[in-house]
Structure 1
C-alpha cells in the first residue's frame, strides 16, 4: 500500500486532477521531514542498543550468570578488555555521528546537500553494522583461541567426567563455542538488518526521489 507521500509524489509527477497538486518546494519539504525522522530513529536505536546490555546487568539473575573469571583463567582477559574498550569507544563515535547527521539534515534547505547527507548516513549505518558484527566475531574468536591454547581446558572449566577423554571434550567444547559464535552473529546480523535495513531503505527511496527531482 502506498503511503501518503508516495501518493503525493505520484500526483506531482503525473499531474492527476483528483489529488491536490504540490510544488517542488512542498515535495522537497516532505522528503526532508521524512529523512530527518528516519535519521532521528537511527540515532535513538543506536543509543538503546548501547544502553541495553547495561540495563540487563542491573538484573541480579542476569548478573549472576556473568562469569568474568573465565576469560582470566584462559589468559585472554587483557585481550577482552582491549576489545571491550575499543567497542565502547567506536560505538560512542558512531552514536555521535548519527546525532551529527540528524542535526545536519534537520537544518538543510538544499536538495543536493540533503542527497549528500542521506548518502553519508546510509554509509555510516553500513559501517556501524559491519563494525558491530566484526567485534562479536573477534570476541568469540579470542575465546576460541584461548580455549584451544589451554592444555587443561577441562580442569579450567571444572568439568568432572571420568568417562570422557579430556582432549575430545576440549575440542567438542571448542566446536560448540564456534557454532554458538556463528549462530549468535547471524542472529545479530538479522536483527541489525531488520532494524537499520528498514530505515536505510526508506532513506534510499528518499534519495532516489530527490535525484529524480533534480534531474
Structure 2
C-alpha cells in the first residue's frame, strides 16, 4: 500500500472528529472570495484604462497619432476614441456596481445571479476591446488603400520611382493586417491572463454554490 492510500485512510479515521462547516460558514467564505475577485476585476479595468494615457506622453505615441491624421483617418480616430471612452467607462461602472452588489449580499441565490452577470460583463468587455483593436488595423489598411501617397503620409522618405504603387499599397496593407492579427492575439493572451484566471476562480465559486443545497 502506497503512502497516499495510508494518508487517505488516516484522514477518514479522523474525519468524524473534525468540525464540520455549516452552510453559513461555507457561504461566507465563497462570498468573501467572490467579492475579492470582482474587486480585482474592477481595479484591473481602471489600470487598463489609465495605462494608454500614460503612453500618450511618449513622443512616439504623438507621432503615431499624426500618422492617423495624415492618412485621412482623423475623424475615425476621434469617433472611435469617443466610443472607446464611453463603452470602457460604462464597463468600469458595471464592474464597480457588481462589486458593491456582491459586497452587500446576504443571499446565496442573489450571489449566484451576480456571479453570472459578472462573468458575462467581463466576456463582453474583452470581446469589445479585442474587436476595437482589430477594427483599428482594418481601418488603417483601408486608409493606406485610399491614400495616394501612404509612404509619405506615414512619415517615410524613400525614392520609390521604380516601385509599383499598387504592389506597394498591397504590401503595406498586408503588413498592417498581419500586424493587426498579431497584436489582437497578443492582447487576447494578456486579457486571458488578467481576466481569465479571475473568471476561472469566480466560476469555481459559482459551481461550489450550485452544489450546495439551499
User: For this structure pair, what is the TM-score category when the shorter chain's length is used for normalisation?
Assistant: 0.7 to 0.9
CA distance in 1, matches of 2:145, 2:18: 68
Residue segments in structure 2 that go unaligned for 5+ positions in a row: 1-10
1:81 matched to 2:101? The reply is no
The within-5 A match list for 1:42-191 is 42-58=41-57, 60-63=58-61, 66-157=63-154, 158-162=156-160, 163-191=162-190
Paired positions, count: 200
Report the CA distance between 1:137 and its aligned residue.
1.2
- The CA RMSD over aligned residues, in Å, is 1.9
Distance 2:145 2:17 in 1: 70
Deviation at 1:76, TM superposition (A): 1.5
Q: 1:145 Cα shift?
A: 0.7
Measure, in 1, the Cα distance between the counterparts of 2:18 and 2:159: 76
Q: TM-score scaled to structure 2, two decimals?
A: 0.87
Q: Which runs of 5+ in 1 are unaligned?
A: 1-10
> Is the contact made by 1:115 and 1:210 (CA closer than 8 Å) also made in structure 2?
yes
Q: Is the 8 A contact 1:28 1:210 kept in 2?
A: yes
User: For the residues of structure 2 that align with 1:190 and 1:19, how far apart are their CA atoms?
Assistant: 43
TM-score (norm 1): 0.86
How far did residue 179 of structure 1 move? 0.5
Deviates more, 1:188-197 or 1:146-155: 146-155
Q: 3-state DSSP class of the match of 2:64?
A: coil
Q: Which of the pair has more CA radius of gyration?
A: 2
Cα gap change, 1:63 to 1:136, in 2 (>3 Å):
closer
Alignment partners' CA distance in 2, 1:108 and 1:18: 33
Q: Could you tell me how far apart the structure 2 residues matched to 1:169 and 1:56 are?
A: 30
Residue 68 of structure 1 aligns to a residue whose secondary structure is helix
